[in-house]
Structure 1
Amino acid sequence: MIIAAAVNENFANYSNYLIRSAMFVYALAFLAHLAEWVFGGRSRIAVQSAALAADAGRADGAQAGSTAAAVTVVRRGAAGTTTLERPVAVRPTVVTRASASDRGIADGPGAAGGTEKGDLYGRIAVSFTVLAWMLHLGGVVFRAASVRRAPWGNMYEFSTTFGMVAVGAYLVLLLLKKDVRWIGLFLTTTVLLDLGLALSVLYTSSDQLVPALHSYWLWIHVSCAIISGAVFYLAAVGTMLYLFRDHYEVALTAGRAQGGRWGDVMRRLPAAATLDKFAYRMNALVFPLWTFTIIAGAIWAQAAWGHYWEWDPKETWSFITWVAYAGYLHARATAGWKGRKAAYLALVAFACFLFNYYGVNIFVTGKHSYAGV
């Protein structure tokens, strides 16, 4: 018989304070990232864009050049050697939309625009992000200590831990010297929305869970789901930015360079091919863990309910999400799907993940509903 431990209200309050403090510092990081994008050198970006447009124009001109060429014909006979110029018709090359990997466009200079001022704001933003993450981590740890269990037993706890893991994964990539600071603005925006929703709509006071959730599988199954979702999220950001950057590159190679603030942002991003590769690698990296998450959930279901699988809404949508990501990876590996088709499929898969969390938990009743909102 499991005896529920009393709730430590002091630790629960510390957790709330730390989460709110983390939101404040994340807001400072967001403003610093915004300054990084705004004050990065636009002049250098414009020069780079003009160079890329000129190179694209020369390449197109070389492909779709003249429709006729002169062929030199040399005739040798008894009277000597005669040289003739014979015009030969040449079929013009039709310029089609090249895939991102075939354009050969280099990565943009990043959010800072390659300037010292922009880079300074970017470094400040990363410093604020690290501080916010430490406060965020403290809030999650105190929430766990307040009830002496895994701090992801309901939607509020899952959301706060999810945001913490997403930011942690981003910081690990930075620690590994990966050029991913362009994610920072979008990540801090999303984490602020995530924590705001958690505190205003999904908040649940610290309390013990129903007996069925008192299992070591809570630590294994749900933690794997959180890590998988956080990495899927980073991949989804890369995929969405790929679609925008790809549209920009198509316009650039067609000689329709985009100006204004939006064009400035697009010019700073990594090349479409780089973003596509980043999203694919992130999805491929975490897909085995998502597979294990479903298997672990089935094992826990058998221990708790006596059946491995009963097509509960949560189980069903977890499987649908798995099929969507499996289809995406299979299409990339065997059918050679790259570019927009693969990107749309990846976004559909992530939408399935989001619906599995928000839609199923809030609007659908099932065996997983006992965790509460």
Structure 2
Amino acid sequence: MDIAVAANESLAEFSNLLIKSAMAVYALAFVAHIVEWVFGSRSRVARTATALTANNTANNTAGNTTRSTAGKETAGAGVSVTVRTSGGTDVLERPKVVTRSAPGRRAGVPDGPGAAGGDERGDLYGRIAVSLTVLAFLLHFGAVLTRALSVQRAPWGNMYEFSTAFSMVAVGAYLGFLIARKNVRWIGLPLVTTVLLDLGLAIVVFYTESDQLVPALDSYWMWIHVSLAIVCGALFYIGAVSTLLYLFRDRYEAKLEAGGKPNAFASSVLERLPSAASLDGFAYRINAAVFPFWTFTIIAGAIWAENAWGRYWGWDPKETWSFITWVGYAAYLHARATAGWKGRRAAYLALIAFLCFLFNYYGVNVFFDGLHSYGGV
């Protein structure tokens, strides 16, 4: 018979101290990111407007080229058109026209340089912000680890622990992309903002004393099912941030393409983001890669439910909204594979799917009673 291990109150208190310390450093990182964007905004970058103007000029002139003498070239849409003579007959090659690659995605639009915008002072504050984020992550990781050591179990047995672990994994994923030299520093500001809100909510609303689990949760499936849900949710979050910024950037590019002039503030910020096509592709790759793991998360939960409650599926609110989230992301991925549902409409589906995940994360535990309720609010 297993004997429950009493919580180590000293480690639990130390974990709480580390969480508050991490929040303080995240707040400094937030300020550094704000300063980074302010200094970055001082130097205007007009590469998007230039690229779109060039594309429009190319598209307008395409097809208006004329046939030239044998062996000579004429310009059409910025691409040479050669007239060749074969057996006395002139053959005019079809010019390559620069077009939009798909609805909501434009060819030839360069990525922005990131938050720094080429300004040295902005870049300096950006490096400071990343360094502070690394320090905050280490404190955050220490808090989650000591919480686990205080009761010698997985540190995600209730909403407080799930929230702290969730935001830690999101930051870890962001830093991992940076280490892999991906152009993701633009995620920094929304990320640390969200992490501060998440940790604040965890401490003020969801805080639960360090304690042992109820018997039904005391299983090795706790490490498999819940840890996978945390990792999937953190990556879905990064995909959702990219999708949301894609919608703003796509609207900005569309306005420029139509000859409009966005306001100076919007230009200074949006010019520094990756192109709409890059943001859209980044979000799609993340969601597509995570979706199989989310599928396995639901399957693992069903197996655990059979061990704990004697049935694989009972339409418990948590189970139901996990499935609704799965349907949402499945619809998004299907839409991406359907010709008429690329771009903004598919992006809306991705955001709806993530909102379903958030409701499953927060709303189900707050507003519904079910078999998962003993995980704590």
Normalised by the length of structure 1, the TM-score is: 0.88
Contact residue 317 and residue 352 of structure 1 kept, 8 A: yes
Distance 2:58 2:372 in 1: 58
- The answer for unaligned runs of 5 or more in structure 1 is 73-94
Distance 1:158 1:64 in 2: 59
1:147-197 Cα deviation digits (max 9, x unpaired): 111000000000000000000000111111111000000100000000010
* Displacement after TM superposition at 1:258 (Å): 0.9
- Which of 316, 325, 328 is the matching residue for 1:324? 328
1:316-340 Cα deviation digits (max 9, x unpaired): 1111111111111122124463100
Contact residue 48 and residue 110 of structure 2 kept, 8 A: no
Partner of 1:273: 277
Matched, 1:51 2:55: no
Distance 1:71 1:281 in 2: 44
Contact residue 56 and residue 255 of structure 1 kept, 8 A: no
Distance 1:242 1:259 in 2: 18
Contact residue 41 and residue 114 of structure 1 kept, 8 A: no
**Which residues of 2 match residues 115-264 of structure 1 at below 5 A?**
115-264=119-268
Instruction: Return closer, same or farther for 1:349/1:70 CA change in 2, 3 Å cut-off.
Output: closer
1:296-351 Cα deviation digits (max 9, x unpaired): 10110000011111111111111111111111112212446310011000011001
1:67-115 Cα deviation digits (max 9, x unpaired): xx9999xxxxxxxxxxxxxxxxxxxxxx999734334211112110012
Q: Which amino acid is 1:244 matched to?
A: F
Instruction: Return closer, same or farther for 1:8/1:351 CA change in 2, 3 Å cut-off.
Output: same
Q: Which amino acid is 1:156 matched to?
A: Y
Contact residue 51 and residue 108 of structure 2 kept, 8 A: no
Instruction: Return closer, same or farther for 1:58/1:207 CA change in 2, 3 Å cut-off.
Output: same
Distance 1:50 1:234 in 2: 27
Q: Which amino acid is 1:142 matched to?
A: T
Partner of 2:93: none
Contact residue 53 and residue 255 of structure 1 kept, 8 A: no
Partner of 2:10: 10
Matched, 1:23 2:23: yes
Partner of 2:42: 42
Matched, 1:357 2:361: yes
Structure 1 ranges of 4+ moved more than 6 A:
69-72, 95-98
Distance 1:372 1:322 in 2: 24
Distance 2:13 2:334 in 1: 47
* Displacement after TM superposition at 1:42 (Å): 3.2
Which deviates more, 55-64 or 247-256? Answer: 55-64
* Displacement after TM superposition at 1:43 (Å): 3.1
Instruction: Return closer, same or farther for 1:154/1:269 CA change in 2, 3 Å cut-off.
Output: same
* Displacement after TM superposition at 1:56 (Å): 5.2
Instruction: Return closer, same or farther for 1:70/1:289 CA change in 2, 3 Å cut-off.
Output: closer
Distance 1:70 1:219 in 2: 69
1:36-64 Cα deviation digits (max 9, x unpaired): 1110153342x435534643553465379
Instruction: Return closer, same or farther for 1:58/1:335 CA change in 2, 3 Å cut-off.
Output: closer
Distance 2:332 2:123 in 1: 36
Q: What do you get for the CA RMSD once the two structures are aligned? A: 2.2
The percentage of counterpart residues that share the same residue type is: 67
- Across the two proteins, how many residue pairs are aligned to each other? 348
Contact residue 329 and residue 350 of structure 2 kept, 8 A: yes
Contact residue 163 and residue 230 of structure 1 kept, 8 A: yes
Q: Which amino acid is 2:162 matched to?
A: F
- The answer for unaligned runs of 5 or more in structure 2 is 69-98
Instruction: Return closer, same or farther for 1:333/1:61 CA change in 2, 3 Å cut-off.
Output: closer
1:94-151 Cα deviation digits (max 9, x unpaired): x999734334211112110012211111111110000000000000001001111100
Instruction: Return closer, same or farther for 1:70/1:310 CA change in 2, 3 Å cut-off.
Output: closer
Distance 1:216 1:96 in 2: 50
Q: Which amino acid is 1:354 matched to?
A: L
Instruction: Return closer, same or farther for 1:41/1:311 CA change in 2, 3 Å cut-off.
Output: closer
Distance 1:16 1:252 in 2: 49
Contact residue 165 and residue 230 of structure 1 kept, 8 A: yes
Instruction: Return closer, same or farther for 1:327/1:224 CA change in 2, 3 Å cut-off.
Output: same
1:187-217 Cα deviation digits (max 9, x unpaired): 0000000001001111111111211111111
Partner of 1:88: none
